[in-house]
Amino acid sequence: MQEEVDARVVERAKRDRGAFGTIYDRYLPRVYAFALVQTGNREDAEDITAQTFERALKALPRYESRGAPFSSWLLRIAANLVIDRGRRGGRVVPLDDESLPESAMPDIASETPDGMVERWEEALWLRRQVDALPADQRRVVELRFWEDRSVREVAAQMGRSEGAIKQLLYRAVQSLRGRIGMEVLPDG
C-alpha cells in the first residue's frame, strides 16, 4: 500500500494548518480514486474529495490514531460523504461516456463505511500485486478481468493467438496466487 504519513506530520498539522498540505498532497489521489469508484462520476468524486479534506481539516484537532492508518480515517470520512450524498439524492444514473455503468455502481446504501474502506484497501493491495507482474502478464489481467474482455478480444488487442493469451493468463494467475500466499491481505 501507499506509505502513510508519519504521526509527527499529523501532530504538526493539528497546530499548523500549513502542514496540512503534506497530508493533502499524500492522500489526494487516493481519496479521489476512492470517491470516483464509489460515485462513478468525476464531478461527484471531485466534490466528495474536496468535502473530505475540508471535514478532515476541521476535525483534525480531535483526530486520534487508535492504531489505524491515517488513510482509514480519511477514507471513512469520504465513505460517509458518499452515503450521505446517496441518501439525499437517491440513485444517480450518470449519462456521460466516462462514467461507470449502473451495474458497476456499488450498492452504497447497504454497505457500512468500514466495509467500504476495507474493500477499497483490499482493492489497492490487489492492484499493487498486479502492478508487480511482468508487463505482458499485467496487461492480459487488466484486459481480461478489469475491462471484462473475451480471450478473443484480448488476443486481437495484444496481437497474439488465443492459446498464447490463455497461457499468459494462466501464468499471471499462478504468479498472483503465489504472491497472495506469501503476503497476508491487509486487515484494514
Mean pLDDT of 117-126: 73
> What is the structure's pLDDT at 101?
46
- Given a cut of 60, whether residue 103 has pLDDT beyond it is no
- Domains annotated for the chain, with CATH where assigned, are 1-123 (1.10.1740.10), 132-188 (1.10.10.10)
Per-residue pLDDT reduced to its tens digit, 39-81: 878 888 899 999 999 999 999 988 887 777 888 888 889 988 8
Least confident of 1-15, 43-57, 95-109: 95-109
Q: What is the DSSP string of 50-99?
A: HHHHHHHHHHGGG---TTS-HHHHHHHHHHHHHHHHHHHH------STTS
Q: Are 140 and 94 in contact (CB under 8 A)?
A: no
- Cell triple for 97: 461516456
Q: Are 136 and 170 in contact (CB under 8 A)?
A: no
Per-residue pLDDT reduced to its tens digit, 144-153: 887 788 899 9
> What is the structure's pLDDT at 14?
87
- Cell triple for 184: 497476508
Q: Are 94 and 40 in contact (CB under 8 A)?
A: yes
Please give the backbone phi and psi of residue 89, each rounded to the nearest 5 degrees, phi first. -100, -5
Please list the alpha-helical segments (H only) found in the chain: 7-15, 20-39, 42-59, 70-89, 113-131, 135-141, 151-158, 162-182
- Given a cut of 70, whether residue 184 has pLDDT beyond it is no
How open is the CA angle 172-175-179, to the nearest 5 degrees? 135
